[in-house]
């Protein structure tokens, strides 16, 4: 499952199936997919987003990894378990949830979509647990993005299940060498490049000079990604997601990733609010909630220092 705010044919896009498309305006958001056959009609809405409408003859083929947007990692983050990397949810078709159980009302948010994922019989062979995964994607008036995941154990055999989770958020940055992260200093982390060994980060904000693949543990609810060149700061606020993965493949690794351009590592950074160290366990009937709020704010950068207080506590 990949969410992308801006859509184009080669990237993720909002797709309406035949019979569901333009007429009743209920597009289904799908992962980045490859389409084979069928008829595809593209249409731009007033915001310039591209909507695709595909005939029912089209076949969707999931690509595995998704390079952009916010793939959902569930029921497993990374290789922390025996399932395929990052779990299967990012490569499944999600349906629009017409009648979700209510969420607390936020009067500032008027635009949202509710999606639902339930396991198929094939999924149950890989991970033998019934669940309902509800995702609300909401936009605030200034373009802030709010994601609320609710995962419920609907097993009828009385069995609990455990999972790990992440919003695999890709950020577009001007130049990775000019970016720093505040909020993760002094945190413990698992280093995926060193056999998941545990280390402690130093006291300074994180800067990037080489490949990084770490899972920071028990992190604060607010993390800031400061892009000096663009004078823009992404602020992440999270709830129910103690950990945060940070990933950039850098030059050498990028060259080994087929769907990653050799230079693309310079303009991306993944900071992924997650629950990894302590898997979430749910008994039948129990529900877990994980929230992410993302905003982009202009950052004032002067005399080599950004006011961290403004970013982290503002
Ligand atoms: O290529 P994928 O499956 O999307 O994974 C990309 C990266 O995602 C990160 O979250 C992981 O920590 C990395 O180990 C992984 O390489």
**The CATH number of the domain where 290 resides is what?**
2.70.98.10
Residues 58 and 135 in one domain: no
In this structure, the residues whose C-beta lies within 6 A of any atom of ligand 1 are: 65, 78, 85-86, 168, 192, 213, 245, 247, 270, 272
222 within a domain of the structure (yes/no): yes
CA angle, residues 50, 55, 58, in degrees to nearest 5: 95
79 within a domain of the structure (yes/no): no
Residues 15 and 140 in one domain: no
Q: Which domain holds residue 28?
A: 1-63
Determine the distance separating the centroid of ligand 1 and the alpha carbon of 85, expressed in angstroms. Answer: 8
C-alpha distance from residue 312 to each of 139, 184, 220, 233, 234 (Å): 22, 11, 10, 10, 11
129 within a domain of the structure (yes/no): yes
Question: What was the ipTM of the complex prediction?
Answer: 0.99
Total domains in the chain come to 2
Which pair of structure tokens corresponds to residue 281?
């366990």
For 281-307, the pLDDT digits (tens) are 999 999 999 999 999 999 864 434 455
161: nearest Cα among 244, 83, 266? 83
Residues 58 and 199 in one domain: no
C-alpha distance from residue 293 to each of 16, 152, 172, 184 (Å): 26, 21, 17, 17
Q: What are phi and psi of 252, to 5 degrees?
A: -65, -50
pTM: 0.81
For 80-122, the pLDDT digits (tens) are 999 999 999 999 989 999 999 999 988 888 899 999 999 999 9
The best mutation among 79, 85, 273 to test binding of ligand 1, ranked by most ligand atoms within 8 Å of the C-beta, falls on 85
Whether residue 239 is predicted with pLDDT greater than 50 in this model: the reply is yes
68 within a domain of the structure (yes/no): no
């Amino acid at each position: 499952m990949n969410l992308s705010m801006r859509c184009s044919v080669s990237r993720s896009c909002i797709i309406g199936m035949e019979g569901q498309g333009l007429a009743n305006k209920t597009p289904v958001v799908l992962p980045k997919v490859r389409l084979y056959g069928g008829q595809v009609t593209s249409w731009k809405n007033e915001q310039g987003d591209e909507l695709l409408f595909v005939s029912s003859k089209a076949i969707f083929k999931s690509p595995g990894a998704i390079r952009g947007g916010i793939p959902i990692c569930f029921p497993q983050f990374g290789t922390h378990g025996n399932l395929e990397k990052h779990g299967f949810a990012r490569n499944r078709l999600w349906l629009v949830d017409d009648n979700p159980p209510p969420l607390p009302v936020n009067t500032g948010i008027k635009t949202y979509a509710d999606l639902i994922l339930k396991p198929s019989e094939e999924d149950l062979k890989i991970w033998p647990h019934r669940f309902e995964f509800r995702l609300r994607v909401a936009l605030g008036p200034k373009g802030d993005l709010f994601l609320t995941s609710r995962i419920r154990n609907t097993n009828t055999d009385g069995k609990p299940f455990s999972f790990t989770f992440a919003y695999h958020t890709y950020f577009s940055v001007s130049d990775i060498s000019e970016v720093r992260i505040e909020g993760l200093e002094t945190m413990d982390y698992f280093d995926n490049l060193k056999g998941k060994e545990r280390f402690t980060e130093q006291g300074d904000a994180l800067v990037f000079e080489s490949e990084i693949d770490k899972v920071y543990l028990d992190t604060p609810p607010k993390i800031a990604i400061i892009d000096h060149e663009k004078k823009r700061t992404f602020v992440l606020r999270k709830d129910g997601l103690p950990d945060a993965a940070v990933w950039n493949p850098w030059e050498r690794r990028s060259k080994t990733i087929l769907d990653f351009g050799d230079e693309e590592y310079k303009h991306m950074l993944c900071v992924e609010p997650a629950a990894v160290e302590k898997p979430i366990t749910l008994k039948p009937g129990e529900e877990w909630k994980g929230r992410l709020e993302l905003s982009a704010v202009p950052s004032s950068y002067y005399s080599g220092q950004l006011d961290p207080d403004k970013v982290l506590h503002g």
